[in-house]
Structure 1
Amino acid sequence: MCDVNAGFLAFHRIAAQMLLLASFRGKDGHQKMKRAEAVAFGGSGLDRAAHLRGEKHVLDTLMRDSRAGVLPLWRGKPLLVADPRSGRDELGWLSGNSLALVGATSRVFLGLDGDAPRFAADVSAWQPDLLPDTLDAYRDPSEQRHPALPDTYRFSELRMAVPRLAPRAAELAATARAVLNWHRTHRFCAACGAESDISLGGWQRLCPACGTHHHPRTDPVVIMLVTRGNSVLIGRSPGWPEGMYSLLAGYVEPGETIEAAVRRETLEEAGIKIGHVAYLASQPWPFPASLMIGCHAEATSEAITVDPAELEDAIWVTREEMARIHAGAHPRIAAAREGAIARFLLGNWLADTLD
């Protein structure tokens, strides 16, 4: 990288860090970050450098930087490599000329991780020798290894890998998965039907026929910690793994507030009426592209009426029983998936740390 670009990035990084710190400092000058921001896939403070997305010559220069890395994703699975020292997984960053990126599509500029420019690319055109039956299933334990990479590198399902990822790695992988999936499913202009082109570093699609601009979508989903006295409401959807229960959740509809969505979804799915609703935390959930909005909802009724089209079962669980579930000691009910906001909210409810 030339000295001019290096100096520009250094200035940008310092300015971004100052803004980030200022946003998290209270009147006493001490850094303040809510515990809720520690939820998986969020809160790492990634510098997305959005102002660089339209500077194609700058992005081309950043791609050639020796510190740059490209994260390949195969059918939504990020490339991972085990770190034997920490016991964690690391993201499998590759140089832009890696043979594993041959035929890659939809390259996206993710931002700046300190001094390192970060990109992502879809390599789903590559076909491994064997496609497992579990591919695209709710839980896919299979891993794929590319012949151009060392055997320690493998493509792995992000939902299963997130507990082993550091916060910054999880945020980068989630962003890459969501945006690349959007490109895969939104190739054609919704206004005129023509195939659109990638622009703005992967954060926009531009229709060459009618000029319409399209941007990645995120679907808001409310997820409810519904309590009544010493109990919490949990349910399971049809097709979930045996014993798996979680908090109730549903999409926010057009023209609806978060509070209204919480009340409507809980009533529709379980027949429970809701009074007070309070926001707790949010989580990007790139399966495929949702923002989970965690809320605490106080139930004003107790009798459960399950909608079988939405839920297979719903039950009230006491705090003491939930502690056993959370510890993996319950004979019938399994804890919510590690890394999911449901587990995060239930854990903080048990610890009385919902701040």
Structure 2
Amino acid sequence: MDQLTVATLADRLVRRHPDRDRLGSATASLAESLVELGRRSPAGSCLIIGGSLSRGEPCIRASAGAWTLHSDLDLLLVHDDVLPPVLPATFSSFLENELPNADVMTLSSGQFAALDTSLGYDFKENGIVLSEGSVPAFESTSITPRDAREILAYTIFIYLWEALGLRSAQGEVSADLDYSYCRLTLKALRTVVMLHGGYAYHFDGELPDDLRRLLTSELAAHDALDNVPVLPAERFLPVMSLALEAHTARFGVGPMDAVSGTEYQGRPGSDYVTVHQQLAFEYMGALVRETDGGADQSKLPFLLQDVWRQVMARHPEIKAAETPAAYFERNKRSIQQTLLMMKLPAAPASQL
């Protein structure tokens, strides 16, 4: 493909934002950094951005012309060699200084071709190429209900390792916390949309009226925090309750994870992923029950640790004396890397 321009990329990043015009200079600044990173990519490699940004979904916030992301910045570097390329110093330093929160995965072209699940779908079908050249040949992939469950588990992981519940219990009041809750509420709703055959917030197919109204309301609330009577933190658990109910209706009652009974069971790292997904679902399920589906959150500050102790009592194989937030933050990188390794059993990918 031709070299991506800043203007073209900026437009694609916010194409589904309800207030895209207000984000003008902030989006242009982010796009400029991403295009420049693409120019600095190793020769013969292909740099792709995926995730919420590539789908154009609301995740950029502007303040005084500067941008703040309330989403992961997912980058994939695809290379032809068996071993990852030696990254130019200009690439690494620019990444560290200008895009410090970016997650960069490296895959060989063969690994990229075989990458499936929602991760593969995001980069292959929705990805934006930042570097010169074209995307390597790949096998198309499709989305399944299993992907929805994996994304819901990951949403709970983020809630835990970003300590959102703890921060709320400690009385934090900040736009950053509000937007983090908005982001996770939308992610949870997105998994319900996926169970109805969609993939993203902008799904145009048929949805139950109540789900469509809730989705529309949350998308509007994302960009009108000051005018929304119900705070984002108070909306999160009711939506999570709805999502857990929808997933239970789809998959049945029992331990929740996105590995058991699937093609990923038995692959390297699958046991580790299974345990941590089940921990996350057990913990969130208990919070939802103890708060009456999120309707009564007055006891939440006391429940955060009590529920964790109850969950740990059922998992003696895991010795975690710290808070759930501290435990999952400590294991964040291992969870992320093992998830990727599980999806690429033939050859592990490295993460920068």
Quick check: which one's strand share is greater?
1
TM-score, reference length from structure 2: 0.29
The answer to which structure, 1 or 2, has the higher relative contact order (CA under 8 A, 6+ apart) is 2
Quick check: which one's helix share is greater?
2
